[in-house]
Amino acid sequence: MELWPAPLAVGPVTGTIALPGSKSITNRAYILAAQAPSPSILTNALRSRDTDLMAAALQALGTEVAFTGETTVTVTGGPLHGGAVDCGLAGTVMRFLPSLAAGAHGTVEFDGDPQARARPLGTILDALRGLGARIDGDGLPFAVHGDGPIRGGTVTIDASASSQFVSGLLLCAPSFVEGVVVHHDGKPVPSMPHIDMTVDMLRTAGAQVDTSEANTWRVAPGGIRAHDWTVEPDLSNATVFLAAAAVTGGAVTVPHWNRASTQPGVQFADILTAMGAGVSYADGAITARGTGALHGVDWDLRDIGELTPTVAALAALADSPSQLRGIAHLRGHETDRLAALTAEITALGGRCAETEDGLHIEPATLHGGVWHSYADHRMATAGAILGLVTEGVQVEDIATTGKTMPDFPALWNALLGNRS
């Protein structure tokens, strides 16, 4: 597979980077819009592999998706029929769409990339069976046999492997005859900000959601209305560019940074500060400044696990040890991110070891080499960060960043002042 020479920064990285919309918000907005009785308009919608897969899947089932510009799309719901869904590697497609497909008239067949067949799906599929859905299979490929809206009701699940199991049930609950009550029973749910995002967006779209009881979410049937969504920039993608300032002693500004956002990326500012970088806000933008020092941290990343590859890259360049905790669930992401980060940091001369629920990273001098991406977009961008200050890093399959960030290499090179 083609290797991408990660650009070496010749000095402090400085500049302003405007980023495309959030994948998480875009794909949730798609699902909600598909259930509305009239058209919804998404502005600043992300166009990436994951979101294009969601749009194509909805179209395959009978939803009208019409782009009137590169990032403006009108979604018109209607009766759903059977069809074929390509999930790629998108967790939001494979875990959000089965609930919608359960209410279609006809059979919906799901499949995806070879790597996706190892991702855990039994929790959401079993939950849907308990709510009245007919499903063949416990992982990709599987088939959902729809005959109109499913009953819904009360279900208890263990969502400790992924918050997407909860979101996948809640997002389509207004279309269930009885709505849904989801109880979580197990270890703490990771990535809770993503569930908060789901709840906020459901309420914005008119659904009644009760979260007054711990580990329980109640969604009443009906209530979904059309809503015109303005999608925030993807703050998790933004962290990679802010990290560039931290490791090179530069200053990078990201506009339209919503400090009240439910996106996990908003918490990265606190991590940067703890690691010794400067963070400031002005005119709705965030600026990260490198100070010439980068310190290790002891941080529980359970709620913001998707930031782990970025934080691990910073930790590998820090002057003291880091303990990254609460992220055992990352073993079930696009790849086993804990094993992947350990292998790749170690291969470049770093000192990284897995713990029961995370990573322990010690200071070490890195050297060049191949950084494998494992078809994981956040692994690829972590390699780009290390390559800023480590000569000779080559990232395998940089194109995988297209999952959530179209043309990442061009954005990265532009920030570094390179022409290509």
Residue 141 has pLDDT above 60, yes or no: yes
- 410 part of a folded domain: yes
Lowest mean pLDDT among 154-168, 257-271, 331-345: 331-345
User: Annotated binding site: which residue ranges?
Assistant: 23-24, 28, 91, 119, 162-164, 191, 306, 333, 337, 378, 403
Mean pLDDT across 343-353: 98
Q: Are residues 241 and 266 in the same domain?
A: yes
Q: Are residues 242 and 336 in the same domain?
A: yes
- 376 part of a folded domain: yes
Known active-site residue 178 = no
- The pair phi, psi for residue 301, each rounded to 5°, is -100, 15
Residue 328 has pLDDT above 70, yes or no: yes
Best CA proximity match to 135, nearest among 175, 102, 113, 164: 102
**Among 189, 220, 251, residue at a domain's last position:** 220
Catalytic residue among 2, 70, 178, 306: 306
Instruction: Express each pLDDT in 3-39 by its tens digit.
Output: 999 999 999 999 999 999 999 999 999 999 999 999 9
Lowest mean pLDDT among 35-44, 70-79, 198-207, 325-334: 325-334
Mean pLDDT across 239-245: 98
Residue 279 has pLDDT above 60, yes or no: yes
Lowest mean pLDDT among 114-118, 147-151, 200-204, 305-309: 114-118
Best CA proximity match to 418, nearest among 20, 21, 5, 48: 5
User: Annotated binding site for phosphoenolpyruvate: which residue ranges?
Assistant: 23, 91, 119, 164, 337, 378, 403
Range of the domain at 187: 23-220
User: Annotated binding site for 3-phosphoshikimate: which residue ranges?
Assistant: 23-24, 28, 162-164, 191, 306, 333
DSSP string, 232-274: PB-HHHHHHHHHHHHHHT-EEEESS--TT--SGGGGHHHHHHH
What is the CATH number for 67?
3.65.10.10
Q: Looking at the whole model, is its pTM more than 0.75?
A: yes
- The pair phi, psi for residue 361, each rounded to 5°, is -125, 125
- 292 part of a folded domain: yes
Instruction: Express each pLDDT in 387-409 by its tens digit.
Output: 999 999 999 999 999 999 989 99
**Among 158, 185, 220, residue at a domain's last position:** 220
Residue 420 has pLDDT above 70, yes or no: no
pLDDT at 271: 98
Instruction: Express each pLDDT in 40-70 by its tens digit.
Output: 999 999 999 999 999 999 999 999 999 998 8
Place of tokens 């789901």: 198
Q: Could you give the CA distance from residue 169 to residue 155 in angstroms, rounded to a whole number?
A: 10
Q: Are residues 16 and 67 in the same domain?
A: no
- 170 part of a folded domain: yes
- 331 part of a folded domain: yes
Q: How many domains does the chain have?
A: 2
Q: Is the CB of residue 111 less than 8 Å from the CB of residue 143?
A: no
Residue 419 has pLDDT above 60, yes or no: no
Q: Is the CB of residue 380 less than 8 Å from the CB of residue 334?
A: no
